[in-house]
Structure 1
Amino acid sequence: MPVAATPTLYQIEAQLRAALESPTPRHETHAALAPRPRSGWQAGFIPRGARTAAVLVLLFPARCHVHFVLTRRARTVGQHAGQVSLPGGALDEGESIESAAIREAREEIGLPGNGLRVLGRLSPLYIPVSNFALHPVVAVLDQHPVLVPAATEVARILEVQIRELQDPTSLKHGWRWRNEEKIAVPYFELQGERVWGATAMVLGEFLCLLQGNQTD
């Protein structure tokens, strides 16, 4: 049986551009990866008064495969300390979503200042615990960047092959306790780290686009 060829960065870029230009809602992919029960949240709904944040889904070639970046937050960083996330953060006053995602990635992982192509945005996602409306931005670099973690914010940078995310065995299900309530938690296991919550929900939509399957 022939082995399928590994898609190039340019093939993936073309596929994502086409998918991101589609007006088809993709919020159901968030629901599939959401911890349950999840009070104060429903797929596609963002309440008035939510603060705005942006994260970057950064794609680049390395070692003959396309990768994306995750970070494990330092233990000293606020509400989501120690969790695995996409680089990003809150918008500064007057800042666009794309500019904020790129600025935060420069601050957190030393993203190079040029050569970045923004492809578009994934669906916004509301995070009740922090009252943030999260806007994921997808972008590509033609070269493997040299990334350096900001010591006060990032404990580890993960360069993850897309095919690792596409591996069906990476999606697992576990349990967590929150306020004495047991919740079911879908998560991706990537490079020995558990990726759950909002980051898993964003990656679920991203994976849906990579597989050419848009859910309404």
Structure 2
Amino acid sequence: MPLDDLVRRVDLALRTPRGGSSDFDLNPDFRLTQERKLRPAAVLVPLIEGPNGVELVLTKRSSRLKHHPGQIAFPGGKVEKSDASPTAAALREAWEEIALPPEAVRILGALPCHETVTSFNMHPYVGLVTDPVELVPEAGEVAEVFRVPLSHVTDPARFRVERRLWQGKWRHFYTVPYGPYYIWGATARILRGFADALQ
């Protein structure tokens, strides 16, 4: 699909109101409490033109990290007080984690917020990389930067539901594996919502 056509599709999808998601969507027996305190976070969903079409940029987190070591993730993190907005936080984190310059990204819009099991309210922003860039992982946080064809992660048929024991109960979640990369949890749930929006 030509890039301009894809951008129009994404723009339309992001303008359509949709409810938020959470790590517990597939676990109807789990009840979220009203008293829970969520910390704001923001991630960038970076799209970039590749030799075979539009691709999604993802990271593999360092195995040395305390939270979610070795997992596949979007570049992003906590919204700091110094950030002008969650969008600014997503762009700052992408610069810090993979050396993606903020000025090289055109924000297309926001996906619905996602609540994580670690009590973050995650704001995902879809951004188109408009300039040639060299993406470099920040060694302390990111083990690898890689690309996945956007067509792969926006095809609902490629998603599976799997489960793991968590706090003594089975927890179900989406996965969308790609080659050696096991994409699951919040990243897969956000991508599943993106895939549904584009249909």
Q: TM-score range by the shorter chain?
A: 0.7 to 0.9
Q: How does 1:1-150 map to 2 (within 5 A)?
A: 7-22=1-16, 24-27=17-20, 30=21, 34-36=25-27, 39-41=30-32, 49-95=37-83, 96-127=85-116, 129-150=117-138
- Over residues 76-110 of structure 1, what are the superposed CA-to-partner deviations in whole Å (9 max), with x where a residue is unaligned? 11221111111100011042111100000111111
User: Over aligned residues, Cα RMSD in angstroms?
Assistant: 2.4
Tell me which of 196, 202, 206 is aligned to 2:194. Answer: 206
Please name the residue that 1:214 is paired with. Answer: none
Asked whether the equivalents of residues 62 and 144 of structure 1 are also in contact (C-alpha less than 8 Å), the reply is no
Amino acid at match of 1:53: A
| 1:85/1:108 CA distance change after superposition, 3 Å | same
Asked whether the equivalents of residues 174 and 189 of structure 2 are also in contact (C-alpha less than 8 Å), the reply is no
Asked whether the equivalents of residues 23 and 173 of structure 2 are also in contact (C-alpha less than 8 Å), the reply is no
Percent sequence identity is 32
- How many angstroms does 1:202 deviate by? 0.8
**Helix, strand or coil for the counterpart of 1:208?**
helix
- Over residues 14-66 of structure 1, what are the superposed CA-to-partner deviations in whole Å (9 max), with x where a residue is unaligned? 111122223x2244xx4798453673449xxx866311000000111011310
- How many angstroms does 1:171 deviate by? 1.3
**Helix, strand or coil for the counterpart of 1:120?**
strand
Return the alpha-carbon distance in structure 1 between the equivalents of residues 154 and 86 of structure 2.
27
Return the alpha-carbon distance in structure 2 between the equivalents of residues 132 and 31 of structure 1.
10
Range with greater deviation from structure 2 (75-84 or 97-106): 75-84
Asked whether the equivalents of residues 46 and 126 of structure 2 are also in contact (C-alpha less than 8 Å), the reply is yes
Return the alpha-carbon distance in structure 1 between the equivalents of residues 186 and 26 of structure 2.
9
Range with greater deviation from structure 2 (145-154 or 163-172): 163-172
| 1:141/1:176 CA distance change after superposition, 3 Å | same
**Helix, strand or coil for the counterpart of 2:122?**
strand
**Helix, strand or coil for the counterpart of 1:206?**
helix
